[in-house]
C-alpha cells in the first residue's frame, strides 16, 4: 500500500476526496489517501501552493509533488523541493478556459457592449465584421493557449500564436521568441495572454509592446497578473491605444479595493474564475502520474524548474 497526502485547503478535500478515491480504485492502486500522514511515510503529495505545506524537507521518501493548479509560480522556486513536480493539465480545466476565452473574445469581436449598455436608445445599424476579418493573438501556446487558438481558428478568426519554442498548429500562424514578438503584436486586434508567470514573461505587455498592437486593440488576460505592466496598461487605455481590457488575474489577489482597475470604465475585472480544475478529470490525471511512478514510467506534465513552468 502507498500513502498519498492531500495537501490543499480543507474545502478542496471535500471536492476531491471521492473523485480521487474512485480514480485510485479504477487504476487498481491500493493507497491510503489522507490529509494527515507522517511526512516520512508519504509516497506522493497532491498539492495546492496555497496550502500550509511549504517545507518539503521532511518528506524523505516522497516520489513526486502533483500540483492541483496549472500555474506553478508559487512553488517552482521552493528550494526544499528536490523531487519531480508535475503541474495540472486537466481536460476539464482546458474546456472551461476555451469557453471563457471564446466568450470574452466574442464580446469584443461583436461589440456586444454597445447594445447592452445603450442609454440613449441609439439605432446604430452597423453590423459586426466576420471573424475572418479579425486578428486574434494568443500569447502562450501551451495546453490552454493551443486549445483556445484552435477553437477561435475554427470560428474563422485569423489567429496568430506566440510561444518560446517553434510550433505547428493547424489554422494558426505560429511565431516564437523575442525576435518575432513585434510581428505577432502587429496582428493582435484581440490579444489573449496565456503565458505562465516566470521571470522571462513578466511585463510581456508593457508600454513598448502595447504600443506595437493595432490602435484600439482589446486585451484579455486569464494568464497571470505580472504578465502585464499595470501602469502601462492604464496609460494605454486612457490614450485609446487599448480600447478595453478584461482581466481575470492580478499581481495581488483579491484585487485590492483601491486598485484603479476596479473603477476604470474600460476594464472588466473577473475574480480569477476563468477556468477551475475539475475534480473528476483532474483526479484521473493525478492518479495516472501515481500509476506511472509506481510502474517506473516517466511522469507526465513535469515542470522544468529552470524555465519556471
List interacting residues with ligand NDP (CB under 6 A): 70-71, 89, 93, 140-145, 163-165, 194-198, 200-201, 222-224, 248-249, 272, 274-275, 309
> Can you tell me the distance from the alpha carbon of 147 to that of 186, in angstroms, rounded to the nearest whole number?
22
Which positions from 197 through 256 interact with ligand OXD, judged by CB under 6 A?
Answer: none
Q: Which is nearer to ligand NDP, 68 or 81 (CB)?
A: 68
CA atoms within 13 A on the CB side of 273: 6
Give the neighbor-by-neighbor strand order of the sheet with 2-7.
31-34, 2-7, 44-47, 64-67, 85-86
Nearest residue to ligand NDP, using CB? 142
Phi/psi of residue 151, each to 5°?
-70, -40
Q: Is 9 a catalytic residue?
A: no
> Can you tell me the distance from the alpha carbon of 68 to that of 89, in angstroms, rounded to the nearest whole number?
9
Number of residues forming the site for ligand OXD (CB under 6 A): 5
> Can you tell me the distance from the alpha carbon of 277 to that of 98, in angstroms, rounded to the nearest whole number?
13
218 and 106 Cβ atoms separated by less than 8 Å: no
Pick what 197 binds: ligand OXD, ligand NDP, none; C-beta below 5 to 8 Å, kind-dependent.
ligand NDP
Which positions from 274 through 303 interact with ligand OXD, judged by CB under 6 A?
Answer: 277
> Can you tell me the distance from the alpha carbon of 55 to that of 2, in angstroms, rounded to the nearest whole number?
21
Coil, helix or strand for 193?
strand
The one catalytic residue in 21, 272, 291, 305 is 272
Q: How far is CA 82 from its chain centroid?
A: 25
Cis-peptide into 44, omega within 30 deg: no
Q: Which is nearer to ligand NDP, 163 or 246 (CB)?
A: 163
For the chain, what's the residue count?
Answer: 309
- Closest approach, Cβ 239 to ligand NDP, in A, equals 26
x/- contact string, 56-85, with ligand OXD (CB under 6 A)? Answer: -------------xxx--------------
- Closest approach, Cβ 59 to ligand OXD, in A, equals 22
Closest CA to 272 of 133, 100, 123: 100
Q: Which is nearer to ligand NDP, 49 or 145 (CB)?
A: 145
Q: Is 224 a catalytic residue?
A: yes
Pick what 163 binds: ligand NDP, ligand OXD, none; C-beta below 5 to 8 Å, kind-dependent.
ligand NDP
The one catalytic residue in 12, 158, 187, 224 is 224
Residues that bind ligand OXD (CB under 6 A): 69-71, 88, 277
Catalytic annotation, residues: 224, 272
Amino acid at each position: 500500500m502507498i500513502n498519498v497526502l492531500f495537501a490543499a485547503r480543507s474545502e478542496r478535500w471535500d471536492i476531491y476526496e471521492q473523485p480521487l478515491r474512485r480514480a485510485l480504485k479504477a487504476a487498481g492502486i491500493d493507497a491510503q489517501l489522507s490529509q494527515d500522514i507522517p511526512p516520512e511515510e508519504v509516497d506522493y503529495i497532491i498539492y495546492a501552493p496555497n496550502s500550509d505545506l511549504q517545507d518539503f524537507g521532511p518528506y524523505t521518501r516522497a516520489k513526486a509533488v502533483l500540483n492541483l493548479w496549472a500555474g506553478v509560480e508559487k512553488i517552482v522556486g521552493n528550494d526544499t523541493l528536490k523531487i519531480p513536480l508535475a503541474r495540472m493539465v486537466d481536460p476539464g480545466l482546458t474546456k472551461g478556459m476555451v469557453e471563457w476565452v471564446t466568450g470574452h473574445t466574442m464580446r469584443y469581436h461583436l461589440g456586444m457592449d454597445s447594445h447592452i449598455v445603450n442609454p440613449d436608445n441609439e439605432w446604430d445599424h452597423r453590423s459586426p465584421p466576420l471573424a475572418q476579418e479579425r486578428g486574434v493573438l494568443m500569447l502562450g501556446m501551451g495546453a490552454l493557449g493551443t486549445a483556445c487558438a484552435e477553437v477561435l481558428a475554427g470560428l474563422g478568426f485569423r489567429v496568430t500564436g506566440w510561444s518560446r519554442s517553434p510550433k505547428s498548429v493547424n489554422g494558426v500562424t505560429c511565431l516564437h521568441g523575442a525576435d518575432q514578438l513585434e510581428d505577432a503584436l502587429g496582428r493582435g486586434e484581440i490579444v489573449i495572454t496565456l503565458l505562465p508567470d516566470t521571470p522571462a514573461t513578466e511585463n510581456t505587455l508593457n508600454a513598448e509592446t502595447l504600443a506595437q498592437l493595432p490602435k484600439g486593440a482589446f486585451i484579455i488576460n486569464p494568464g497571470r497578473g505580472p504578465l502585464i505592466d499595470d501602469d502601462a496598461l492604464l496609460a494605454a487605455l486612457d490614450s485609446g491605444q487599448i480600447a478595453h481590457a478584461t482581466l481575470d488575474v492580478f499581481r495581488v489577489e483579491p484585487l485590492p479595493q483601491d486598485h484603479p482597475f476596479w473603477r476604470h470604465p474600460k476594464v472588466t475585472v473577473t475574480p480569477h474564475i476563468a477556468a477551475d480544475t475539475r475534480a473528476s478529470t483532474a483526479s484521473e490525471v493525478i492518479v495516472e502520474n501515481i500509476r506511472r511512478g509506481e510502474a517506473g514510467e516517466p511522469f507526465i506534465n513535469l515542470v522544468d524548474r529552470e524555465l519556471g513552468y
